[in-house]
Amino acid sequence: MSTFLPHFPATFIVTGDPLIYGAEVSIVLATVGILFVLTYFKKWRWLWREWLTTVDHKKISVMYLIAALLMFFRGGVDAMLMRTQLIRPNMSFLQAEHYNQIFTTHGTIMILFMAMPFIFAMFNIAVPLQIGARDVAFPYLNAVSFWLFFFAALLFNLSFVVGGSPDAGWVSYPPLAGLEFDRGPGENFYLLSLQITGIGSIATGINFMATILKMRAPGMTLMRMPLFSWSVLASSILIIFAFPALTVALALLLIDRLAGAHFFTMFQGGNPMMYINLFWIWGHPEVYIVILPAFGIFSEVVSTFSGKRIFGYSSMVASLMTISVISYVLWVHHFFTMGAGPGVNSFFAVATMCVGIPTGVKVFNWLFTMYRGRIRLTVPMLWAIAFIPIFAIGGATGVMLAAAPADYQYHNSFFLIAHFHQVLIGGTVFGMLAGMYYWWPKMFGYMLNERLGRWAFWLFNSGFYVTFFPQYLLGLMGMTRRMYTYPANMGWNTLNFISTMGAYVMGIGFIVLVMDVVYSIRFGERDVTGDPWNGRTLEWSLPSPAPHYNFARIPTVTSRDAWWTSKQERSRSDAPRKLEPLQPIHMPKSSGRPFIMSAIFFIGGFGLVFNWYALGFLALLGVLVSMLLRSLEYDTDYYVPVEEIEQTEAALGRA
Amino acid sequence: MSRPSTHASNTASGSLWMYIVGFVISIALTVGALWLVLARQFSTGTLLTVILLLAILQIGVQMFFFMHITDSPRPQFNLWILGLGMFFTFVVIAGSVWIMSFGAQGY
Ligand code: HEM
Ligand SMILES: [Cu+2]
């Protein structure tokens, strides 16, 4: 029965590296500090009632945003460490093993714990407000999604100090990630935390698909829906159909590792290549899951700050939908070199090149929207404009990579690294930062400072070019990815030095961004109108931040850009608008169960990481009990009485 | 106002039995597939066919018992999404078979 008793591996608490000691000390200090502040200012109740138990999409959005920025910081520090190690040949700043861990956590965190929560922050703040809904379709499930993500991120980051970080790359291919080559618990941390956050993501996909299809305000037909909401629909469809493949791949690898099965081992009939296939069935759609919402944000931002309707709305919708279907049949381009044969490779190469067409349509539409528009160069608009050239180049190098025979040269070189950072940073990160600046007043009731925002933008944007353009050349000169150091006589020294300098500039840009946030919390200009940008869509018709029920009266939509139209109508006639009488509003109740259930998930995940099956099964039981309790719960909602709505609206200065 | 509620209300308890029956059948189909593999009663070809049939049956069960595919009235997008789901499922299975056979089938 020894496997059922907790057995502590020798390296339970990671030791031996000054960086890690530093992290351990700062984690302890930060935790003590947070506990002290909460207790001293008597904030525990507030924290529990207002945040940990909330099912309000606007608060969930705020929590996603904070988490995404924190994870952006952690992933960014990883990046700085890697670039520092590569600044000169034969550096010994990081050891090989440590370098492996860092590129693994960097990639995993940036995709799953930075990009995903960042897009979910944007989903949550904008979609219900844009389509005239009072919350998402399943508010309770929304909270479950958030807390699953949160505890999964905690579990993943814990591996840094407890047990050791994963080190088989963010793709975690067996056999390297299998038991034969990787005994440590790090890989289990990877598998379990991704599994947990994946459940949350699938639930979010379902939630937003249902919200968009079922909860639009009267009159808002699909073809009147703002483009951001369309992009969320496209992204949600991909989430629903792609994430299960990841779930399966991770589960089978976990069974291999924990139970000694042979799905992906080299012997006993296993086939590691099947993991690669399954991983990318999720992995390629995943990059579109995070880019499509960015496309949506650019559409909103470009049209708002050009003072024009978006050019070619229907073609924008059509290309979003086409991309989400095509991007599902491209996955082999990540492993052309596996050698599935010319038939397979040609098919997927051609399909990959096809995805450039709808993307091109979108780029032209943004350009035509700006053409002859009255452009206001606000910070969101700067990010949107800067995105276009970067993405054009990223797409072009993508098409180069998609030429299967040529990819045998480019594959896993720094050329590939440069390509995907170009599209992920220039696309997703720029998009999310544009969205953050754009919707910040709606989330918090004040604006971010434009001056600091411009500084952050210019540093980050120019640092970006300096970092990644040399990497294309390095790739062509033969430098492969994931090498922890290189000899001095390869001719790579200068380019690597330049690239590292660029990375530092981007790092400074990020610091300025954080300064902007901190500065604006204190000095940010209040948004008293609720419509600081002269916006076009319904979220700007509400006060900032919106009351918890969003709309006192659900609006009736008669056109695209609904808020713009109603502003025009109002300026044309001075006849007082007649308002329908208020009615009680049906709202969901807060619940602590999503938090508790996800915490139990965390405990169970932690147990399985160390093969403590008893703890794992106990936690599974806990999860089942929580779900059962929820199923038997009937007191889940209430009505906001009319007087309370009147008071709230009056306090917000609305009739 | 057509939509006073912000979230799905509790469904009628009549469907509770549907869920339980669907759940039991799903479990049975899954365990059955596992058992067939472990028991090794069939030749590989037959085994694959049978498992595939069980999987298709499983899709049907889930559609009927959990997804309320027969509920009316049915908005048009339901059909679209269903078609898309079928397409994606086909792509994953047929694509994986094609890829993982490494050119053995000839092109
Ligand atoms: C026209 C559009 C695009 C094309 C043609 C394209 C093509 C490709 C190809 C062929 C590869 C594999 C190269 C190799 O491994 O040798 C690749 C890798 C990658 N692409 Fe793209 N891509 C495009 C857009 C995007 C976008 C929009 C994103 C993300 C937002 C993205 C993210 C990635 C990532 C993360 C990888 C590498 C993953 C890894 O190996 O770790 N790509 N791309
Ligand atoms: Cu791809």
Q: Does the pLDDT value for residue B6 go beyond 60?
A: no
Question: Ligand 2 centre from A328 Cα, in Å?
Answer: 9
> Measured from the CB, is residue A333 less than 6 Å from ligand 1?
yes
| A240 vs A309: CA distance, rounded Å | 31
Q: Provide the domain limits for residue A243.
A: 43-591+636-651
| Whole-number Å distance between alpha carbons of A230 and B91 | 24
Interface of A with B (CB under 8 A): 133-140, 213, 215, 218, 237, 241, 245, 271, 273-274, 277-278, 281, 325, 328-329, 331-332, 339-344, 554, 583, 585-588, 634, 636-637
Tell whether A390 and A452 lie within a shared domain: yes
Helical (H) or strand (E) element with A588: strand A585-588
Q: Which residue of A has its CA nearest to B94?
A: A329
Confidence grade of residue A653 (pLDDT, cut at 50, 70, 90): confident
Contacts of A397 (CB under 8 A, 6+ apart): A415, A418, A419, A422, A472
Mean pLDDT of chain A: 92
Instruction: Please give the structure tokens belonging to residue A238.
Output: 């991909």
Structure-token pair, residue A137: 């379709």
Whether A358 has a pLDDT exceeding 90, the answer reads yes
Question: In this structure, is residue A602 part of a structural domain?
Answer: no
Contacts of residue A616, Cβ cutoff 8 Å, sequence gap at least 6: A604, A607, A608
What distance in Å separates residue B100's CA from the closest CA in chain A? 7
Tell me: cis bond preceding A285? Omega within 30 of 0 counts: no
Q: From chain A, pick out residues whose CB is under 8 angstroms from the CB of B8.
A: 137-138
**Tally of CA atoms within 13 A in the half-sphere of A631 that contains its CB:** 11
Q: Which of A264, A275, A328, A548 to mutate to test binding with chain B, by most B CBs within 10 Å of its CB?
A: A328
SS3 at position A550: coil
Q: Smallest Cβ distance to A341: which of B3, B87, B107?
A: B107
Given this model, what pLDDT does residue A180 score?
86
Residues A419 and A548 in one domain: yes
- Do A26 and A141 lie in one domain? The reply is no
Nearest to B88 among A140, A241, A554 (CB): A241
Residue A365: inside a domain? yes
Closest by Cβ to A218, choosing from B2, B85, B99 = B2
Name the residue among A174, A368, A382 with its Cα closest to residue A271: A174
Q: Indicate if A63 and A207 belong to the same structural domain.
A: yes
Contact present, A54 and A143 (Cβ < 8 Å): yes
Which pLDDT value is given to residue A570? 84
Quick one: tokens of A623?
Answer: 């999860």
* d(C-alpha B87, C-alpha A282), whole Å: 16
Is A280 within the bounds of a domain? yes
Give the pLDDT confidence score for residue A145 in this predicted structure: 97
Q: Do A274 and B7 touch (CB under 8 A)?
A: no
**Per-residue model confidence as pLDDT tens digits over A212-268:** 999 999 999 999 999 999 999 999 999 999 999 999 999 999 999 998 899 999 888
Residue among A179, A154, A161 at smallest CA distance from A603: A154
**End-to-end CA distance of chain B, in Å?**
59
Q: Produce one character per residue of A460-486: b if its CB has 16 or more CB atoms within 10 Å, e if not.
A: bbebbbbbbbbbbbbbeeebebeebbb
Cβ A411 under 6 angstroms from ligand 1: yes
Same domain, A356 and A226: yes
Kindly state the average pLDDT of the residues A494-515: 97
DSSP class per residue in A273-284 = HHHHHHHHHHHH
Quickly state the pLDDT bin for A655 (edges 50, 70, 90): low
Statement: residue A114 has pLDDT above 50: yes
Residue whose CA lies nearest to ligand 1 atom number 8: A398
| pLDDT band at residue A1 using 50, 70 and 90 as cut-offs | very low
Identify the bridge partners of residue A638 per DSSP, sorted by sequence position.
A587
With a 6 Å cutoff on the Cβ, whether A352 touches ligand 1 is yes
CA distance A204 to A383: 27
pLDDT digits (tens, 9 = 90+) for A290-335: 999 999 999 999 999 999 999 999 999 999 999 999 999 999 999 9
In this complex, the residue of B75, B85, B98 whose CB is nearest that of residue A344 is B98
Contact A291 CB / ligand 1 (< 6 Å): yes
- Number of structural domains in chain A: 2
Could you tell me if A257 and A181 lie in one domain? yes
Cα–Cα distance between A616 and A607 in angstroms, integer? 5
Q: Residue B101: what pLDDT?
A: 85
Prediction pTM value: 0.93
Say how many C-beta atoms besides its own lie within 10 A of residue A56's C-beta: 25
Q: How confident is the model at residue B8 (pLDDT cuts 50, 70, 90)?
A: very low
The CA distance from B6 to the nearest CA of chain A, in Å, is 6
Residue of B nearest to A327 (CA): B88
Matching residue, tokens 């009505």: A639
Contacts of B92 in chain A (CB under 8 A): 245, 281
Residues A92 and A20 occupy one common structural domain? no
In which residue are the tokens 């081992």 written? A265
What integer pLDDT is reported at residue A635 of this predicted model? 86
Residue A606 falls within a domain, yes or no?
A: no
Question: Which residue's CA is the closest to the ligand 1 atom numbered 2?
Answer: A395
Q: How do residues A147-162 score in pLDDT, each as one tens digit? A: 999 999 999 999 988 8
User: Residues A6, A143: one domain?
Assistant: no
Report the alpha-carbon distance of residue A535 to residue A293 in Å, rounded: 18
Q: How far is CA A646 from CA A414, A527, A553, B23, in A?
A: 60, 21, 11, 47
Instruction: Answer yes or no: is the C-beta of A334 below 6 A from any ligand 1 atom.
Output: yes
- Look at residue A268 in the predicted model and tell me its pLDDT: 84
Would you state the pLDDT for residue A7? Answer: 66
* pLDDT band at residue A9 under the 50/70/90 scheme: low
pLDDT of residue A631: 86
Ranges of each domain in chain B: 1-68, 73-107
Of residues B40 and A102, the one with the higher pLDDT is A102
Convert A455-477 into a string of H (helix), E (strand) and C (coil). Answer: HHHHHHHHHHHHHHHHHHHHHHC
Q: What percent of chain A has pLDDT over 70?
A: 97
Does residue A607 lie within any of the structural domains? no
**Integer Cα distance of A343 and B103 in angstroms:** 8
In a domain, A17, yes or no: yes
List Cβ neighbours of A473 (8 Å cut-off, separation of 6 or more). A495
If asked whether residues A143 and A203 sit together in one domain, one would say yes
Quote the CA–CA distance of A223 and A615 in Å, as a whole number.
51
Q: Minimal Cα–Cα distance from B4 to chain A, Å?
A: 7
pLDDT number for residue B4: 40
Least trusted range by pLDDT, from A30-39, A273-282, A510-519, B18-27: A30-39
A651 neighbors A550 (Cβ within 8 angstroms) = no
pLDDT at B106: 47
**Computed over its alpha carbons, how large is the radius of gyration of chain B?**
19
- Atom index in ligand 1 nearest the CA of residue A424 equals 30
Q: What does the alpha-carbon distance between residue A210 and residue A205 come to, in Å, rounded to a whole number?
A: 9
CA distance A342 to A131: 47
Predicted pLDDT at A43: 84
**Residue in the block written with tokens 């390869």:** A490
SS3 for A171?
Answer: coil
Indicate whether A629 belongs to any domain: no
Q: Are residues A191 and A289 in the same domain?
A: yes
Based on the fold, state whether residues A71 and A24 are members of the same structural domain.
no
Task: Give the torsion through C-alpha atoms of A50, A52, A56, A57, to 10 deg.
Answer: 130
Question: With 50 as the cut, is the pLDDT of residue A121 above it?
Answer: yes
Question: Does pLDDT of A207 surpass 90?
Answer: yes
Percent of chain B with pLDDT over 90: 36
In a domain, A631, yes or no: no
Quick: pLDDT tens for A269-292: 889 999 999 999 999 999 999 999
Tell me the one-letter amino acid at A454.
Answer: R
Residues of A in contact with B71 (CB under 8 A): none
Residue A30 sits in the same domain as residue A171: no
Nearest CB to A342; choose among B10, B96, B107: B107
Q: From the CA of A652, how many Å to the nearest CA of chain B? A: 22
Residues present in chain B in total: 107
User: A6, exposed or middle or buried, with CB in 10 Å at 0-12, 13-18, 19+?
Assistant: exposed
Three-class secondary structure of residue A352 per DSSP: helix
Chain A: give the shortest CA distance to residue B26, in Å: 17
Does B14 touch chain A if contact means CB atoms closer than 8 Å? Answer: no
Nearest CA to ligand 1 atom 33: A420
For A468, the token pair is 């990644």
What's the gap in Å between A379 CA and the centre of ligand 1? 28
For chain A, say whether B83 makes contact (Cβ under 8 Å): no
